[in-house]
């Protein structure tokens, strides 16, 4: 029996276990009810006194050795990291976080307002749901005057006097009603018109309006402001041209063209071979408008200008179809990641 005990000691010293389950199987094999060591203890009972005396100690040592070894194997098996953790590459750099991008119209609107803020203009905002007075009447659109048809209006069924603003010139009215010159404001915002949606027209779009009212404001001031804006927005080579036009709220009124920023004025399909593209309307504030808003038109004069943000964005980024701006197609929006 002593040989068997010594063999088992060697065997047990060399045991290994891959998992806690392996270790448990070993426990059953050696120390379980029908285990090898348990069997030796049964045999031991049948031995005579002399044999018992010589074999008792080594047999107990064998049992202690087996118990300790198997417990140790169990512990180290349960401490082994699980395979799925080993599969993670801890040296890999963190994945880049996908950041959202600004909408192209927001980028351009911010650029416009920042150019005007450098000239001392502050931002003014007003409601999109308006009334006739602020959108039309105060701005010198006579009732039943065909000029009202220039802007197809959405009326809200609550009454003929509730409508969606057709231009941000309504914010001019609101500011002039509540403040006295000098007034120098820029009014960005969304406007609505009852138009069929196509590549070139939409039922809502965005405008930025600027208004300057003070003593002795002249057309020369307007022209200089326009020039500064155009060159800041489209580059120092940009030329401007003013054409006479008509708006009820300005007198005289003009439309401004810039030299085509694609061909530099030589003529291309974008500018229909004229070398010029139209970008905004402007003029000297009609004295009737100043008076309607409680500003003394004998003492003060002013100029106003208004532009479409989509139009300016098209010029800067050649977006061919207006509908792209409101479709929220990520592929389109992500093209503007690097622009501010």
Give the one residue of 181, 248, 283, 302 binding ligand DAH; rule: CB under 6 A.
Answer: 283
C-beta of residue 168 within 8 angstroms of C-beta of residue 185: no
Burial of 70 (0-12, 13-18, 19+ CB in 10 A): buried
In the bound complex, what is the minimum distance in angstroms from residue 230's beta carbon to ligand DAH?
Answer: 16
CA 299 to chain centre: 46
Region 229-248 residues binding ligand DAH, contact defined as CB under 6 A: 247
Q: Is 304 in the site for ligand DAH (CB under 6 A)?
A: yes
Nearer to ligand DAH, 295 or 305 (CB): 305
> Closest by alpha carbon to 168, among 185, 148, 150, 189?
189
150 strand-pairing partners: none
Residue given tokens 């049992």 in the structure block? 63
In the bound complex, what is the minimum distance in angstroms from residue 207's beta carbon to ligand DAH?
Answer: 6
Stretch that binds ligand DAH, among 212-220, 275-283, 293-301, 327-335 (CB under 6 A): 275-283
| Structure token digits, residue 59 | 């047999």
In the bound complex, what is the minimum distance in angstroms from residue 212's beta carbon to ligand DAH?
Answer: 11
Q: Is 305 in the site for ligand DAH (CB under 6 A)?
A: yes
In the bound complex, what is the minimum distance in angstroms from residue 250's beta carbon to ligand DAH?
Answer: 4
Stretch that binds ligand DAH, among 50-58, 93-101, 196-204, 301-309 (CB under 6 A): 301-309
C-beta of residue 300 within 8 angstroms of C-beta of residue 215: yes
Stretch that binds ligand DAH, among 46-54, 214-222, 277-285, 322-330 (CB under 6 A): 277-285
How far apart CA 281 and CA 248 sit, in angstroms, is 12
| Structure token digits, residue 309 | 């943000």
Instruction: Return the SS3 of 207.
Output: strand
Stretch that binds ligand DAH, among 46-54, 76-84, 218-226, 279-287 (CB under 6 A): 279-287
How far apart CA 31 and CA 106 sit, in angstroms, is 77
Q: Is 192 in the site for ligand DAH (CB under 6 A)?
A: no
Stretch that binds ligand DAH, among 18-26, 82-90, 223-231, 278-286 (CB under 6 A): 278-286
Mark residues 146-185: x for contact with ligand DAH by CB under 6 A, - for none. Answer: ---------------------x-x----------------
In the bound complex, what is the minimum distance in angstroms from residue 219's beta carbon to ligand DAH?
Answer: 12
Mark residues 198-217: x for contact with ligand DAH by CB under 6 A, - for none. Answer: -----------x--------
Q: Is 292 in the site for ligand DAH (CB under 6 A)?
A: no
Nearer to ligand DAH, 169 or 261 (CB): 169
Q: How far is CA 36 from CA 4, 12, 46, 58, 313, in A?
A: 10, 11, 16, 15, 87
Nearer to ligand DAH, 23 or 185 (CB): 185
Applying CB under 6 A, the site for ligand DAH has a residue count of 11
Stretch that binds ligand DAH, among 60-68, 119-127, 219-227, 304-312 (CB under 6 A): 304-312
> Closest by alpha carbon to 241, among 261, 225, 256?
256
C-beta of residue 182 within 8 angstroms of C-beta of residue 214: yes
How far apart CA 60 and CA 62 sit, in angstroms, is 5
How far apart CA 27 and CA 323 sit, in angstroms, is 75
Q: Is 282 in the site for ligand DAH (CB under 6 A)?
A: yes
The vertex-187 CA angle with 276 and 164, nearest 5°, equals 95
C-beta of residue 242 within 8 angstroms of C-beta of residue 281: no
Nearer to ligand DAH, 181 or 281 (CB): 281
Pairing of strands 276-285, 240-247: unpaired
The residues of the shown chain that bind ligand DAH, judged by CB under 6 A, are 167, 169, 209, 247, 250, 281-283, 304-306
């Amino acid at each position: 029996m002593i040989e068997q005990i010594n063999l088992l000691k060697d065997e047990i010293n060399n045991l290994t276990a891959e998992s806690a389950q392996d270790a448990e199987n070993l426990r059953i094999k050696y120390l379980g009810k029908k285990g090898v060591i348990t069997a030796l203890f049964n045999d031991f009972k049948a031995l005579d006194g002399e044999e018992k005396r010589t074999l008792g100690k080594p047999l107990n040592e064998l049992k202690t050795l087996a118990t300790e070894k198997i417990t140790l194997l169990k512990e180290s098996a349960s401490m082994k990291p699980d395979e799925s953790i080993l599969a993670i590459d801890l040296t890999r750099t963190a994945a880049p976080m996908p950041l959202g991008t600004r909408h192209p119209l927001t980028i351009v609107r911010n650029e416009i307002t920042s150019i005007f803020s450098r000239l001392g203009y502050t931002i003014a905002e007003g409601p999109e749901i308006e009334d006739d007075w602020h959108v039309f009447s105060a701005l010198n659109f006579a009732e039943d005057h065909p000029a009202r048809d220039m802007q197809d209006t959405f009326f809200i069924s609550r009454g003929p006097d509730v409508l969606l603003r057709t231009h941000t010139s309504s914010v001019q009215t609101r500011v002039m009603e509540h403040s006295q010159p000098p007034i120098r404001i820029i009014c960005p915002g969304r406007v609505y018109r009852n138009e069929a949606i196509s590549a070139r027209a939409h039922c809502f779009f965005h405008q930025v309006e600027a208004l300057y009212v003070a003593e002795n404001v002249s057309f020369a001031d307007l022209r200089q402001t326009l020039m500064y804006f155009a060159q800041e927005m489209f580059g120092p080579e940009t030329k401007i041209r003013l054409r006479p036009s008509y708006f009820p709220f300005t007198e005289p009124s003009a439309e401004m063209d810039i030299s085509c920023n694609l061909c530099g004025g030589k003529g291309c399909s974008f500018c229909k071979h004229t070398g010029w593209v139209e970008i905004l309307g402007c003029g000297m504030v009609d004295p009737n408008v100043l008076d309607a808003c409680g500003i003394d038109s004998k003492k003060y004069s002013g100029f106003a200008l208004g532009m479409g943000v989509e139009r300016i964005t098209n010029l800067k980024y050649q977006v061919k179809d207006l509908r792209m701006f409101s479709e929220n197609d990520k592929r389109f929006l992500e093209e503007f990641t690097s622009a501010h």
